[in-house]
Structure formats: structure tokens, C-alpha cells
Amino acid sequence: MQRSRHGRSEQSRLAAGIDGGGRAAQRALCVAVTTSREDFAELSELLRTAGVAVAGELVQQREQPHPNSYLGRGKLEELKLAIDRQDANLVACDDELTPRQERNLEAALGVPVIDRPAIILDIFASHANSAEGKLQVELAQLEYNLARMRGLWTHLERLGGGIGTRGPGETQIETDRRLARDRIAALRRRLARVRSSRSIMRRERERAALPEIALAGYTNAGKSTLLNALTGAAVGVRDRLFHTLDPSTRTLMHDGRTFLLTDTVGFIRKLPHQLVDAFAATLEETRRADLLLHVADASADAETLAEMLSAVDAVLDEIGAGEQPRLLVLNKVDAIDDERREELGLRHPDAIFVSALNGEGLDLVRARIATALRDGLRSVELLVPYSEGARVSELHAIDSALQRRDTPDGVLVRARLPAPALERYACFLSAGPSNGAQRPEEPNPSAPRSSGDGNSASTTVGSSGQ
């Protein structure tokens, strides 16, 4: 990871030494300001994913970071000594720095300084493969770095201050910022077109009336592995943070029904708000899902797991998905003992214990999905004319366990349909949808039809296709 002229974090070509043996080209000293015990495990993992080795750690117990230099004067001197002692050439802060704090730290320490959002943005930039993903990451980086741009034109600046002292150096940085703002506007327009394309694809899926389920959770919790285990897909999986940036949708079959299961980008504590804004089109899949599977890492310790769950809830609230129905799935239970299982069962009695690696609990996940979505289904009786045979095929795709009977007027179909599909097939309704999801008993052909709730007169459309 290295700084460009405009302050942008870029993946260093020399950082590969961290995994390939030998001495890493970039060695970071981790720094944090906190009132409690600081755990650098997550920041260290972020740096490792970005190709940076961790040379050491330093914590200052302080209520609030110093507004000018992040650290207090005494701790700043201690940090200088630690940099020399640990032979570090980079300082990584576990918080978001203001542009002033970043500039002052770099001036005082003489080494580059990066904050947590910059590291996350760097990882996203290196993992983005699709055109859409690259656009979203570039937008987030530009918005983050707009206030941090710095020119290399100081040799053109005039000394002094006051009227008549504005030099070409200041003009150049203003030009750079204007170009960056123009690029941000262009990226927003292109992403608006991406959102429009996604809307078209979403409408096509809605036409099929298939229930949509989104996998959401902390990064590296095993969401992609769970998607593969449930659907038999072969989505790429790696043990690293933010491996999945672009959503992947696959079909899930269970109990004669077809569901759409989507894997989405993972979340993390202190996720940069620029990323949340830039990935709005991708996160839209989560907000519009009929059901969320909140996947969490059961092998994490109790405190870390609680922080992970809280971080995901916060992001879901931020994107407008906080009220979505959801199931908690505790993955990686193959890595915990019976005592830990019992403890998790007491803390999260409604959670589903799963190991996507060895298949434990997958049948229970499918069953709980079907149960959770059953409340959104309505049992209906449709009379489809023989001339509309294609509609019967569509109904089979929605509910493969439907019941059908040929009559002189057409095909009498009894199926369970989600609410979005009821409007499309309203003209074939032979009886109004019931309030429950259970299939009605086979009616007596000689007996008059009745819904049993007094609403049959208002819900009957006709006995034949209209």
C-alpha cells in the first residue's frame, strides 16, 4: 500500500513479500486511541489482506483522540521511538483520521500514515473484478480522498501571505479537486445506469414470483461457502476479508419450491460510509430481499461475536434493511466444542447452528427458510383456460407441488403463491386467497364454494379466464 500524489492509497507492487517469505517491503506499526483494551487482531488481518506486515502495536488510553495529532504529545514521541526500534515504514491507525490529523502525523513522524478506511478501500480496490465493482470502489476512493488531496507544486508557491500571494501551487490543487469532482459526477451517472439495469433484472425475477433470500453478515463469516453448500454452486471462496464484492444469485430448491439465494458483500466494524454510499446498487439486493440470513462466525469469542453482530445490524439499519425478516445462522460450528455450543444456544436460542464446510445443519436452514417464507404464501384456486397453457407452466415453476385437475372449462389449479404473483393471476381466480398458507382440503364438487371467512363475494373474480 502506498500513497499517490493525490493522497490515494494504492496497492504497492513491493508488498508481495509478506506471503512469499522474506522481509516485507511495507511494515506497519498499529496505533489506536481507546478507553478500553484494544484488540489489533482485526486491523492486523486487514493489513495482511492488503499485503502489509505488522511490525508492532501502540495504544494510548484517552477519552478522545487529539484533534490535531490523534495522539498526545508524549505518546507521539513514544511512537517515533517505536518506529525506529521496530524498523517500521508505515503507521496504521485503527480509526478514521481527519485530513489535519493525517498531515500532522506524517509531518511529525516522517513516515506515511494511513487510517482504517484507507486500508479497507485499498482491499476493495484490489479485490474488485467486475466493471460495476471497480466503478463503485473508484467512487468511494475519490470521495474519501477529495479532502486529502495534496499537490506536488510547492516549488511554485510564493512566500508570504495576504493579497497578491496566491501562487500556481494553490491553483493546481484546486484544479485537481475540480477534476476529481467532475469524475465523481460522471461515476454517479454511470452507477445510476447500473442501478437501472439491476432494476430491470430485478423486475424479471419478480415476474417469476420466486422468494428472494439474501446472505448478509460480517466479512469472512463463510457466506459464499454457505451459498455453495445450500445450492451446489461453485462461487469463488477464499479465506480472506472482502473476497466477495459483487452479488451472486443462485437457485435453492426445497420442498417443491424454488428460492433465489443471493450472496452479498460482507460488512465490518467502522465500515467507511463512502463504501456504503458507493455500493448502494449492490446493497439494494439486501434491502429488497424477502428474508435475510444473517451469517455469523460461531468460532469467534463472545465479545468479538457480539461486536460483529452489532456492526452488521448497524449497517443493515443504515441501508434501510433493519426491519427485514431475518434468521441468525451461526456458521463454522465445526470449530467449536460442546461447551461453546451450549453457551451460544443460551445466548441465541433462535439461531441455526451450521457448518457449511461439512454440511451440518444445512437441512435445518432449508426448513427454517421455508417456514419463514410460508407466512407470505397464499393458497389459491385458479381456473386456467386451455388456451393459456403457458400460465400453467409458469405456476409449476413457482410451486412445483401444486395440484391440478382438468375440467370442461380449463385446468383447475390449487397452488401456494407469494403476494406479488397474486395480481398477475387475478383474472384466473376461482376463489379468493385464504389468509393462511396451508392448502385447502379438496372441495366437494357438488357443494357450493365458500371461503369460510365471509369474504368470498369480494374476492371472487370469475370462474373462467377473462
Helices (H) and strands (E) counted in the chain, each on its own, are 15, 16
Q: Using CA atoms, how far apart are residues 265 and 247, in angstroms rounded to an integer? A: 7
Helix (H) / strand (E) containing 395: helix 389-398
**Domain residue extents for the chain:** 2-126, 128-209, 210-373, 376-459
Query: What is the pLDDT at residue 157?
Result: 47
Backbone phi, psi, residue 400, to 5°: -70, -10
Query: What is the pLDDT at residue 277?
Result: 74
Query: What is the pLDDT at residue 13?
Result: 39
Q: Using CA atoms, how far apart are residues 10 and 374, in angstroms rounded to an integer? A: 48
SS3 323: coil
Helix (H) / strand (E) containing 30: strand 27-34
Model's pTM, two decimal places? 0.68
Q: What is the pLDDT of residues 361-390, one digit of tens each?
A: 999 999 999 888 876 677 888 888 888 878
Q: What is the pLDDT of residues 12-59, one digit of tens each?
A: 433 444 444 556 788 999 999 988 776 788 889 889 888 899 999 999
Q: What is the pLDDT of residues 324-357, one digit of tens each?
A: 888 999 999 999 999 999 999 999 999 999 999 8
Average pLDDT, the chain: 78
Nearest residue to 27 via CA among 77, 87, 85, 74:
87
For the chain, percent of residues with pLDDT exceeding 70:
76
Helices (H), 72-167: 73-86, 99-109, 116-127, 131-145
- Is 2-126 in CATH node 3.40.50.11060? yes
Q: Cβ(325)–Cβ(289) under 8 Å?
A: no
Of 148 and 356, more confident: 356
Highest mean pLDDT among 200-209, 256-265, 456-465: 256-265
Q: Please, what is the angle between helix 99-109 and helix 73-86, to 10°?
A: 60
Looking up cell 431475518, which residue turns up? 326
Query: What is the pLDDT at residue 438?
Result: 39
Q: Cβ(353)–Cβ(328) under 8 Å?
A: no
> For 405-415, what is the mean pLDDT?
86
Q: Do domains 2-126 and 210-373 have the same CATH topology?
A: yes
What is the residue type of 23? R
In this predicted structure, the answer to whether residue 164 has a pLDDT above a threshold of 60 is no
Position 191 confidence tier, pLDDT thresholds 50, 70, 90 = confident
Looking up cell 512566500, which residue turns up? 159
Q: Using CA atoms, how far apart are residues 189 and 274, in angstroms rounded to an integer? A: 16
Q: Using CA atoms, how far apart are residues 86 and 310, in angstroms rounded to an integer? A: 35
Nearest residue to 231 via CA among 329, 361, 362:
362
Annotation: CATH topology of 210-373: Rossmann fold (3.40.50)
Of 64 and 36, more confident: 64
Of 200 and 294, more confident: 294
Query: What is the pLDDT at residue 408?
Result: 87
In this predicted structure, the answer to whether residue 435 has a pLDDT above a threshold of 50 is no
Q: What is the pLDDT of residues 243-270, one digit of tens each?
A: 767 778 888 888 777 888 988 888 888 8
The residues pairing with 330 across neighbouring beta strands, listed in sequence order, are 296, 353
Nearest residue to 243 via CA among 264, 257, 226, 258:
264
